[in-house]
Amino acid sequence: MPRTPAIAALLAMLGITAACSSGHHSAARSATGDTITVTAGSCAPHWGAGRAGRQHFTVHNGGAATARVTLIDAATGGIFGQVWQVTSGTTRPLDVVIPAGKYRWRCIPITGRATISATRTVRGPGGRGVKPLLPLSSEEINDATAQYKTSVQRGIGILVTATDTLTTAVRTGALPAARRDWLPAHLAYERLGAAYGTFGDLDGAINGRPDGLPDGTHDKDFTGFLRVEYGLWHNESAVTLRPAVVALDSSVHKLARTFPGTQIVPADIPLRAHEILENALQFELTGDTDMGSHTNLATAQANTDGSIMVLGALTQQLRVRDSQLESSSTTELAAFRRQLGEYDRGGAWRPLRSLTQSQREALNSALGRLLENLALIPNILQMPPSTAPT
């Protein structure tokens, strides 16, 4: 994919961070010799502006806390350069290209108060056409959060209905019907990407795995959809399964009652686009969560729907910053969903283990490429931190 200015700037920043992650760097490596110093109460107090075009800085953290250091447009807050983590006592290089304008530095420690430097004016003909990354405005954040929450709320309504149907089937001893009803209910939950952190302990109660439990699939703390799946496909009786499905249904109804009052952390939303599918790669495309129904590919498709839901809430915000990334992410998500759908035979999904090695490699490769795209989104859609001038 050709790199747009926003992606190119972002990759440059990420590349600088990665290149500096292994140790200390001498200030002498800066072409300009200008060192950006961070302390507990100040940010670049003596920095010099230099000329427009390519500039080389060194960033030194003289404070006690790890800090993120960012060069921003003084008027818009647009980001022209950034080092994500400068640990205490270390010095790291930062290579940026900036056009003429007014700039300042923002220093954000992981503990304590963020500070900003004095504004300096950069002059000269260099750097023309370079565009910054623009942090989200409060209005954009609120719009995305409200839209996402509405989508999740709608999905929870579908989940409640589907789980009630499953519970009725088990309660009445209709286990063949319960095996049919289990998948729609489970997929309704898997489409809710807000589960990562937002649902708290209810996520484990509704969709927990047996990994790490002393008695594994027979542990008393193994609950939720996967516990019911295990019982349905391992010949447990309706009497044995009834407590598990009733507990599941109770947790789902509790989620429906409590979610309207739940606060979604806005900064989490851009992360979810790739985190949901990272989990799909780790747990579904490896078969780790298969408790007997062999429907991991269906779950991976539901996870893809979850990422599509996230991107839908962020479409406008992403489009104005990088329309190509928004378009390619949308296209690749739809393509991956169709690729998974090739293994759906009218609701009877092919087991993951029945795929050939080349088919599994094709899925993993497509998802890997998709994740590379989606991982750029939280860096482009950055939250505006609160800062205090020094």
Same domain assignment for residues 145 and 94:
no
Task: Name, in order, each residue with C-beta under 8 angstroms of 263's C-beta and a sequence gap of 6 or more.
Answer: none
pLDDT tens by residue, 321-370? 889 999 999 999 999 999 999 999 998 999 999 999 999 999 999 999 99
Contact 321, 314 (CB under 8 A): no
Could you tell me which of 349, 329, 340, 334 has the C-alpha nearest to residue 301?
340
Q: What is the pLDDT of residue 84?
A: 81
Q: What is the pLDDT of residue 290?
A: 98
3-class DSSP state of 97: strand
One domain for residues 171 and 112: no
Pick the range with the lowest mean pLDDT from 78-82, 286-290, 381-385.
Answer: 381-385
CATH number of the domain to which 28 belongs = 2.60.40
Helix, strand or coil, per DSSP, at residue 120: strand
208 and 250 part of one domain? yes
Does the pTM surpass 0.85? The reply is: no
pLDDT of residue 178: 98
Q: Determine the pLDDT at residue 126.
A: 93
Do 120 and 244 sit in the same domain of this protein?
no
362, 227: one domain: yes
Q: Are residue 200 and residue 70 in the same domain, yes or no?
A: no
Flag whether pLDDT at 7 surpasses 80.
no
Q: Read off the pLDDT band of 28 (50, 70, 90).
A: very low
User: Is 386 a member of any domain?
Assistant: no
pLDDT of residue 222: 97
Residues in the chain: 390
37 and 162 assigned to the same domain: no
Q: 144, 97, 105: which is closest to 387 by C-alpha? A: 105
Residues 285 and 205 in one domain: yes
Together in a domain, 261 and 332 = yes
In a 3-state reduction of DSSP, which class is residue 185?
A: helix
Judge whether 360 and 57 are in contact, CB under 8 Å.
no
Look at residues 71, 106, 134 and tell me which one is the last residue of a structural domain: 134
pLDDT band at residue 385 under the 50/70/90 scheme:
low
User: How far apart are the two ends of the chain, measured CA to CA in Å?
Assistant: 42
Does residue 79 sit in the same domain as residue 199?
no
Question: Which domain covers residue 245, as residue numbers?
Answer: 138-380
Residues 327, 354, single domain; the answer is yes
Number of compact structural domains in the chain: 2
